[in-house]
Amino acid sequence: MAKTVVQKDTVRILLETQEDVWFWERRFNVFDFLALFPPDSITEPAPASHVPAPADLQLTFETDAGFSFQTDIVRGGFYLRNQTQGTRKWMAATQPKPSDTIEIACVDKMNYRLRKIAG
């Protein structure tokens, strides 16, 4: 499992193996650093995973891949809901590999930066 380091308003996820990369390509699980996000961004599971939460509960992620996306966190699963236009799109655009690091930094209550740090 990828090594996670939390420092105040930033979390760094070191992708140590190809399995770590595979795992994060499929789902951004934020359980280990849930305190980085406001409690009201954690919403109930929707009848379909593509149904978004209300706009005022959405987190905005600015990425180093030149786009931003909005998402909430699914209660119980504790992952970022918007995968197709969010995390999966970012993973495809940045192509992280073992030894790279994923960094999520809190800008303010509902705004975050997502970037890859080459290993």
Q: Which tens digit of pLDDT belongs to each residue from 54-86?
A: 777 789 999 999 999 999 998 889 999 887 889
User: What's the number of domains the chain is made of?
Assistant: 1
Q: What is residue 48's predicted lDDT score, i.e. its pLDDT?
A: 60
Q: What is residue 82's predicted lDDT score, i.e. its pLDDT?
A: 82
Q: Could you list the residue range(s) of the whole structural domain that residue 110 is in?
A: 3-117
Q: What is residue 4's predicted lDDT score, i.e. its pLDDT?
A: 92
Specify the DSSP element, H or E, that contains 63.
strand 59-63
Give the global pTM. Answer: 0.90
Q: What is residue 116's predicted lDDT score, i.e. its pLDDT?
A: 98
Where the chain has pLDDT below 70, the residues are: 46-53
C-beta of residue 97 within 8 angstroms of C-beta of residue 21 = yes
Q: What is residue 67's predicted lDDT score, i.e. its pLDDT?
A: 97
DSSP-assigned letter for residue 48? S
Distance of CA 91 to the CA centre of its chain: 10
C-beta of residue 102 within 8 angstroms of C-beta of residue 118 = no
Q: What is residue 54's predicted lDDT score, i.e. its pLDDT?
A: 73
Helices (H), ranges, 1-119: 18-26, 88-94
Say how far apart CA 119 and CA 114 lie, in whole Å: 16
Q: Is 79 exposed, middle or buried (0-12, 13-18, 19+ CB in 10 A)?
A: middle
Q: What is residue 84's predicted lDDT score, i.e. its pLDDT?
A: 81
Q: Provide the CATH number for the domain around residue 43.
A: 2.40.330
